[in-house]
Amino acid sequence: MATHATLHPTRRRITLDEHLPVDHRLSKVYRVGAGLTGLVLLAFGILGLIDQVGFFDTRGDTVAGLNTNGALSVLSICVGLLLFVGMVIGGNFASTLNMIVGVAFILSGFANLALLDTDLNFLAFRIQNVLFSFVVGVLLMMFGMYGRVGSALPHDNPYWKARHPGQAEREERAVTQTQLGTRTGTRGEDTKT
């Protein structure tokens, strides 16, 4: 019986909390996504509470085209405030928060889809709420993953650099040598004249 070892080059694992410069342009995308979604959820929750629907009323009431009750309104306000916190902090925290809350919205959509027209539907979901959960979940995930995943990330992207450290180092070295060559070439022309 022949055995052989396969050598695998060591690869650096990328984690979702890699360092992103505080002033990086991607941080604005994460903040805007968290802020806008938080604002919509906060407004929906406040309008639902103003309507004074029962806290666990399974029939609910319609607010802004969506069904709601007191529990869903309070939950919407809490999630909206959480997204506002993410907007204020920004950076990787906002990105990761957007992704996590987005997945939670999608899972909530599936769970509440299964509970439609049952006595366990204590958030008073209707099909429009399920669709809203799916749309908000996908949007939050898009805002959270923007610039972090994809096959065509630009080479100056910090996440691309973390995934391709060898190539990033070679490219930086080449740019540095080009800049040094340009400077010395300009000086050489000055000395000739």
Over residues 101-123, the mean pLDDT reads 91
137, pLDDT greater than 70? yes
* Pick from 136, 130, 154: nearest CA to 80: 136
Q: How far apart are CA 30 and CA 99, in angstroms?
A: 10
Tally the residues of the chain: 193
CA angle (84 as vertex; 79, 86 as ends), nearest 5: 95
Cα 164 to the center of its chain, rounded Å: 22
pLDDT 10s digits, 3-60: 544 544 555 555 544 555 544 566 677 777 788 888 888 988 888 888 777 676 667 6
Burial class (CB in 10 A: 0-12, 13-18, 19+), 43: middle
pLDDT 10s digits, 63-101: 777 878 888 889 999 999 998 898 888 777 888 888 999
